[in-house]
Structure 1
């Protein structure tokens, strides 16, 4: 296992250094420096312990057709044996087009890159294929941003209440925020101990969010409660059922030696204001006040 972990670290470092040589400007490539330094020290043998911080990088690319795209990537410990966590941003894509692009990219990575470093192939794939998604019909929306918010009879609106033993890691907190926004989910994330996450939106998007989050490394994480509402008429849509306006990380008077504990009274008030007071007892076994 130790040898395998070392090999993974060596492959990660080699890829980062290759990317740095290809994208020398910080306008093109940003690398999280603490994680990079820890990774290099481990590979070079100046420290014995594997890095505590997962490497993160962001590549900013301009495609052949002049479209600006950013590619954020976080390496799991076992990368490249497993695929990295990738977020793609492009202001010219509608929501529907973006969803299709993400699906296409995942399929490409699963079929071609499992077990291999994949950031450069991902950059090349985006350059070669993003125009195909920009040309797709997004439902003739006037503003190009309604593709995933329109609902059809037979779809389901879902709200997931997720409990974690704790949420401290900055990378995980960043992923939670970015994935929720990418999938057009609303809700909130409360870091600390315990950790609470609520996401709401169309069922497929909520399931995709949970599929990504649960495979990260956790001491304990579970869906504590879920709400599913069939959208049985065109007058009942996902937007009318939302309890939250957007997705945010919410902190409630952090305290304790490490500032990791929240004021649960403030959390109860936050939930009550959004018509979700009953959830407090499901999480903590006592009635809020």
Structure 2
């Protein structure tokens, strides 16, 4: 698909969702400017590359967790530029589920979508799947209970687990508390990669897809001037007919570190981009430099 075809599919799905969920209490577009820029791009009034701002919206629904109880569930979606050729960024929130239950639900949802929706718009199937399967995840008791995790729903035979690498752009990363959280969360979730503080800020995390999605769901809700996933790589793990690759064999980084590249400027908040390019090139990731900065590194 071309950039225009991706944009047309995204805009069409947003319009369908707006019609299906007309109430603001059900459907909320959190960045109207991004949708307006997308509409201008599709209409041809904007030229050049697709708009850098990506549409983000929230769908709120009721989910049955028992024959006598419904709970509120919120699904958050953000379109990467290549959607629907790749899955959207997703997060599922429900105060009646523990964090472990939510992580398991989101992991199984991603596996379901990889098996049945690759290359097709998938927001409505995702909403319906959560409403139909949510009860399985609440069956073990209230948040914080010590009961075992619920058995996962049956997965499509073609669905396989995945490895992800997220490249996150921030307008800047200065705050020491945020920098500490990035280091702690990546290690807690078993992710490798690096964080480059300063202006701009860059974070790369890689590992099991569910862990990467959990990391992103924590980071993005902090207060930022601007933060986004600029690029992502999703790779299948050992499906039928595929090489038996493991998450560790796909890693480009051996651990997670905060990387500094000759800080300079009046506040010491700018990094040497030449050193950054060399750092990425050594790990086979130099293509990301152009994606972030729009120029070839050297």
Give your verdict on TM over 0.5. yes
Q: For 1:207 and 1:21, locate their aligned partners in 2 and report how far apart those are by CA, in whole Å.
A: 31
1:70 matched to 2:74: yes
Q: For 1:96 and 1:147, locate their aligned partners in 2 and report how far apart those are by CA, in whole Å.
A: 10
SS of match in other structure, 2:13: helix
By how many angstroms is 1:35 displaced? 0.7
By how many angstroms is 1:211 displaced? 11
SS of match in other structure, 2:113: helix
1:195 matched to 2:193: no
1:98 matched to 2:102: yes
- 1:42 corresponds to: 41
Change (3 A) 1:57 1:169: farther
TM-score by length of 2: 0.54
Q: Deviations over 1:7-42 (max 9, x none)?
A: 111000000011111112222112120110000011
SS of match in other structure, 1:105: helix
Q: For 2:107 and 2:133, locate their aligned partners in 1 and report how far apart those are by CA, in whole Å.
A: 12
Q: For 1:66 and 1:134, locate their aligned partners in 2 and report how far apart those are by CA, in whole Å.
A: 11
- 1:226 aligned to which of 255, 263, 270: 255
Number of aligned residue pairs: give it. 205
SS of match in other structure, 1:11: helix
Q: For 1:183 and 1:25, locate their aligned partners in 2 and report how far apart those are by CA, in whole Å.
A: 40
SS of match in other structure, 2:61: strand
- 1:244 corresponds to: none
Q: For 1:137 and 1:66, locate their aligned partners in 2 and report how far apart those are by CA, in whole Å.
A: 14
Return 5+ residue gaps in structure 1 as ranges.
149-161, 171-176, 228-254, 265-281, 283-289
- 2:269 aligned to which of 241, 254, 262: 262
Q: For 2:10 and 2:209, locate their aligned partners in 1 and report how far apart those are by CA, in whole Å.
A: 31
RMSD: 4.7
Return 5+ residue gaps in structure 2 as ranges.
150-164, 173-180, 217-228, 233-250, 257-263, 272-278, 280-298
- 2:296 corresponds to: none
1:217 matched to 2:231: yes
- 1:208 corresponds to: 211
By how many angstroms is 1:225 displaced? 6.2
- 2:3 corresponds to: 5
Tell me, yes or no, if the aligned pair for 1:93 and 1:134 is still in contact at 8 Å: yes
Q: Deviations over 1:189-208 (max 9, x none)?
A: 77543636599xxx977993
SS of match in other structure, 1:66: strand
